[in-house]
Structure 1
Amino acid sequence: MAAVKVATILSLGALLPTATFPCGTLRSDNTTASKLLGTWLYVAGAAQFPQHLLEMLLIDHGHLHVEPHTGEQELLVTQRVAVGDQCLANNSTYFKITVGNTTLVKHAKTHQTVGMLMNLSSEDTLLIQYQLQRERMYLGLYLYARNLSLSTAHQEEFEHHVKCLGLSGEEIVYAPWKTELCQVEEIEKGKSPRAEPAAAVTASPALGTHQPGSMEN
């Protein structure tokens, strides 16, 4: 049941209007695709929708693997998250790189845009912004990094983006990384422990319990 709830996180809506720096989108260029390739580790997330905050609490850790898809303008995104005793996988999205920005698009006939890359000061961090449209607008912001040794400056930068989007510190959760259900090696080799139709992009425990880099076993 928990896995089903987590899967709803990717049922997100249209592209959020571009904000101005420092909350603006990543300005894409001819080096963007090569910089995105490889594995990213989930660090933290913030969500405005209460249900999404509860769902993030169910997830221990997550990875995101980016590889070439159909040319330099599209990169396939494979996501894995650990929920309870399961490692859930999803490859139903891809990055679309255009002049000026990079968006996350669902594999569907509508090619629905579900998020965008936001501007950060380091090439070793990845910030994805989502938007959910229901009776009103709900925002989500999720941080990935090449490793879990995130500096204080990068953490503060993420928190600044959260506030810049109108979210609060109480809406931020960090991934605890207590288990090793979803192996990075399995992602890079294309193995999937358990495939699900729409596994979440996010991961996190209770707010303030663990900080980036605290990998407890």
Structure 2
Amino acid sequence: MATAWVRAAAILSLAALLPTAAIPCGAPRSGNATASQLLGTWLHVAGAAQFPQHLLELLLIDHGHLHVEPCAGGQELLITQHVAVGDQCLTNNSTYFEMASGTATLVKHAKTQQTIGMLMNLSSEDILLIQYQLQRERTYSGLYLYARNLSMSTAHQDEFEHHATCLGLSKEQIIYAPWRTELCPMEETEQGNSPNVEPSASATASSPPGTSRPGSTGN
């Protein structure tokens, strides 16, 4: 009996030493955010990408943000992206959130209406996680994190990195934006409040896989 207790105690001790990142991945769950939750300005915090060109873009971008606003008809939410590259602020409004039954789950290309990404289910309404896929000789995944402000909790950062790991993205493929410059002005949110852009930790922005980078001619 004593031997069994010792063995059990040893197992429990080893379990306590296991990394917290060893959380089962399971099937990815899409989010179901409403329009009121999505409208306004979202700051780029981090991005992760498999496709080498998009990984390079993440490294080149200093900061950026999305501005989400309703379109005529109410079935779409226009996404306007601003990113600072070098000494330029580039803009792209080629994508939108598709609304269905009052909620948004998919990101589509404005011209082709092709689905290029989906909102992921997260624990907070103050962060936004979008998973993209790019079809080339194989399927490349990308993951982009946005937030209402840059004062993100460690738990939210860990949640993002866990999602990235589940997509097969390594830590070397995760890039946090430095936010060193102020080239891209912020729009005010629908409530009339400007987001808090005072950087706390490292925090990136890049164009989604499957779309051209703002100001570029394509991939």
TM range, smaller chain: 0.7 to 0.9
In the other structure, the counterpart of 1:57 is 59
RMSD of aligned Cα (Å): 2.2
Query: C-alpha offsets along residues 27-46 of structure 1, whole Å, 9 cap, x if unaligned?
Result: 35xxx111000000000000
Report whether the alignment pairs 1:71 with 2:73. yes
Contact 1:42–1:145 (8 Å) recurs in 2 = yes
Equivalent residue for 2:42, pick from 18, 40, 43: 40
In the other structure, the counterpart of 1:194 is none
Contact 1:61–1:177 (8 Å) recurs in 2 = yes
How far apart, in 2, do the equivalents of 1:137 and 1:20 lie?
Answer: 19
In the other structure, the counterpart of 2:113 is 111
Q: Which has the higher contact order (CA 8 A, sep 6+)?
A: 1
How far did 1:212 drift? 3.3
Equivalent residue for 2:90, pick from 88, 98, 122: 88
Contact 1:33–1:72 (8 Å) recurs in 2 = no
How far apart, in 2, do the equivalents of 1:154 and 1:111 lie?
Answer: 31
Contact 2:37–2:125 (8 Å) recurs in 1 = yes
Moved segments of 4+, more than 6 Å: none
How far apart, in 1, do the equivalents of 2:66 and 2:104 lie?
Answer: 19
How far apart, in 2, do the equivalents of 1:65 and 1:138 lie?
Answer: 25
TM-score when normalising by structure 1: 0.72
Contact 1:25–1:101 (8 Å) recurs in 2 = no
Letter in 1 for 2:105: T
How far did 1:20 drift? 5.0
TM-score when normalising by structure 2: 0.72
In the other structure, the counterpart of 1:198 is none
Report whether the alignment pairs 1:166 with 2:168. yes
How far did 1:98 drift? 2.1
How far apart, in 2, do the equivalents of 1:49 and 1:184 lie?
Answer: 29
Equivalent residue for 1:102, pick from 105, 108, 113: 105
